[in-house]
């Protein structure tokens, strides 16, 4: 249970970082916000 929760948190963090990177590159960060 703890492992799963930790894994999910790590994935969500990585996903957020990637999405932010893509948004910044595409310039969608400003549009999204």
Total domains in the fold of the chain:
1
The pLDDT of residue 20 is 84
DSSP 1-33: -HHHHHHHHHHHHHHHHHHHHHHHHHTHHHHH-
pLDDT of residue 31: 59
End-to-end CA distance of the chain: 34
Range of the domain at 17: 2-32
pLDDT recorded at residue 1: 55
- pTM for the complete prediction? 0.42
Q: Tell me: the pLDDT tens digits for 1-33?
A: 566 777 888 888 898 898 888 877 877 655 555
């Amino acid at each position: 249970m703890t492992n799963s929760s930790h894994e999910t948190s790590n994935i969500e963090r990585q996903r957020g970082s990637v999405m932010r990177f893509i948004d910044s590159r595409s310039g969608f960060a400003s549009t999204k916000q």
